[in-house]
Structure 1
């Protein structure tokens, strides 16, 4: 059943939802956002919660809970990832869906924002179980997703294979003459299933590009700059890969299993090969010094890239951060109190809705290719991605200067004003 959030204001619990609402309120106050439009944007359009049974390999049935929150579609179809993680709940989905709305608006894409996933720890399930879970979840979502309605993509613990299962399940519910029209119901697909060249690295490449643009704007060379990465998955790896090519040194990494430090730098490619042979874990990498997780953000470095989950940089560890720049590869990694501390210290923060927008831009390119029956080469995709990211970055820098605000507030202002213009021009039905 689809429901709406009540518009009655309640005290929000601390977490990602509280953070995104405080970020929104701050920017909305600065631009004196129209009160009626503000009421629309501070709630989600639709929320779907589904409970569904799946038979496990041992024959027993397990019940799973899945979520899909659609925040706003004033600019176009809902767009956003699906994650498989124990922290997935309705508040997390609401927060992430809102961030997606601001992200797509800031990037100038014809999309709205959505997010969702399943509350589970995927490492506890076999590949065949994950396939059945994914297919059953897709079936439960039904017509609440669609290529012109709501287009999911990979997120935490989901990947191209997950998207291929969703695509196949969704298309199997359509008549034969409709199937060819639905290949763009998801993005982030394998190449053989209609995916795009470069989509695998789009988010991490976008993180790298914003760091590069920041360095150029500040007259800084990335050569020999030390950087640390929290999360060595798709985003963290590709961001590190491109930074290393610029001569920067990866000196610290943290994943779900532990933290490591290497003063003279860790080879990104060697570490990747090690994780492939070590069940995805960085722990035990030869020559690296094991580090207590609580000490990770205090490492001596120039650039810090949180590329894991939300609320990782808090008021408890913000004061110990030595980096001059934080590039938010994850969604909502820095809470409001931590950001206040960091800004007072003079730390620059490239906000998530700008920094990791390469993923949704890459998804947009894939969606366009599927709709138009086109196939773009890798260099074309990356060139278009860099152009799009630079346009957004320069707009944020200009707004930050003219408004005398930080980069996050500037990014929110641009995103919100675009939505405000849309509502003013179109009006509100009826």
Structure 2
């Protein structure tokens, strides 16, 4: 069983909450209600393994029921514990509020190292975990909707969906019980890369504010910005990929086996292919390498994106960080002590609750798709294409000029599902950053974007309780 004695992730989240609560005028009792985890379900179940049995530890935490359903991923890791799941569930509550997604926060965890289990064993574990949630009413399209997290993905979500459907025959909206599903099981295009794409949007929006960049000694825009990314998993890979597409230069990549750095830039897809072929990012041609992964975080750059696990940047190594901006692709990669020091150094941290909210935003779109039983763009795509074509033909007849075919094709094309999803995600990340920054700029007592994000989240959640009549 995981050791819980030395964990304080949830305490860190509560500390950040308390710092922000000082800037609100809500009653202490209401603040305590918002902060507390409403439901913590800890359970064990056996699986057959070889000629014997193994007992699996698992959790599902529903932090806040101010909105239904609750929402949050399931983490498969031998380091997962109750404190971590509670902290991540709390962050999900605030995250959903920040990006205006109508869910309460939840999180799940299964204490295993998935690399040590066969596919069949993982399927048994996932289906049994789902069954336990069903028995206690901790899953359902109107109750609690899981999603992928560290160590899980589309495959595991498809097992969850199938198990739930099997045990709830005839439920019309059953596939809405989980998001992050494969397209074949009515998942949504763009979900897999959504968190990384959202990180890239968040960073791009941050550096587009010239006034803020001037204080850091940087120019506005992603052009000529050097970026180091920690983690080459789903979030890290797509964060690096899209940041490069938006004009940044990826100079460093860090993984658990070590780190590589090239001041002239690294091709992320080539590094990924190298790791698939060799099992390591080390040995990539033309790159300086470090056997200690955390050394890679300390190399020269403008932006650092920790997209692995929590507590990677602490009071012990923060002063060695040369970046001016830290974008938290992971949950809780910076401790409160590290953030305090980094702020005093003049740096900006784009907080996890906002920065990695792309996943839950697109999960929301997938949930809506499952409830409406129709893919985005299916009903209006062809109509928009035909209407735009009529408009272009009319303009050509009036002006007597012909539009080039490649330009015509771009103008008349109706939006596909992936285009609508990416558009909705981009709009969400831009507007949410503007909300956070406005709070930060207008209140001189608020020192960090994280505190500003918490203040906004607390206000929105408090309003929900008041509107429900739960609080006077």
1:102 aligned onto 2:102? no
CA separation in 1, counterparts of 2:285 and 2:53? 42
CA separation in 2, counterparts of 1:413 and 1:297? 30
Q: Structure 2 matches for 1:260-279, cutoff 5 A?
A: 260-279=260-279
CA separation in 2, counterparts of 1:275 and 1:169? 34
Question: Is contact 2:68-2:144 (8 Å) kept?
Answer: no
Shift of 1:333: 0.8
1:185-218 per-residue CA deviation (whole Å, 9 max, x = no partner) reads 0001111111101111110011000111111112
1:74 aligned onto 2:73? no
1:194 aligned onto 2:236? no
Q: Structure 2 matches for 1:43-58, cutoff 5 A?
A: 43-56=36-49, 58=50
1:282 aligned onto 2:274? no
Q: Which has the larger radius of gyration?
A: 2
Unaligned 5+ segments in structure 2 are 211-218, 377-416
Find the counterpart in structure 1 of residue 131 from structure 2.
Answer: 139
Shift of 1:14: 5.5
CA separation in 2, counterparts of 1:53 and 1:257? 33
CA separation in 1, counterparts of 2:145 and 2:133? 12
RMSD after superposition: 1.6
Question: Is contact 1:79-1:111 (8 Å) kept?
Answer: yes
Q: Pick from 60, 77, 86 the counterpart of residue 78 of structure 2.
A: 86
Shift of 1:274: 2.0
Q: Pick from 23, 26, 36 the counterpart of residue 30 of structure 1.
A: 23
Question: Is contact 1:15-1:311 (8 Å) kept?
Answer: no
Q: Helix, strand or coil for the counterpart of 1:199? A: coil
CA separation in 2, counterparts of 1:139 and 1:31? 41
TM-score by length of 1: 0.93
Question: Is contact 1:75-1:105 (8 Å) kept?
Answer: no
Question: Is contact 2:61-2:108 (8 Å) kept?
Answer: yes
Question: Is contact 2:255-2:293 (8 Å) kept?
Answer: no
1:383 aligned onto 2:423? yes
Structure 1: which 4+ aligned runs deviate by more than 6 Å? Answer: none
Q: Helix, strand or coil for the counterpart of 1:31? A: coil
1:223 aligned onto 2:223? yes
Find the counterpart in structure 2 of residue 4 from structure 1.
Answer: none
Question: Is contact 2:257-2:293 (8 Å) kept?
Answer: no
Q: Helix, strand or coil for the counterpart of 2:63? A: strand
Shift of 1:425: 2.6
Find the counterpart in structure 2 of residue 398 from structure 1.
Answer: 438
TM-score by length of 2: 0.85
1:64-110 per-residue CA deviation (whole Å, 9 max, x = no partner) reads 11110100020221100101112211110111100000000111111
1:359-404 per-residue CA deviation (whole Å, 9 max, x = no partner) reads 1000000000110012121111000111111111100010001112
Find the counterpart in structure 2 of residue 235 from structure 1.
Answer: 235
Question: Is contact 2:34-2:462 (8 Å) kept?
Answer: no
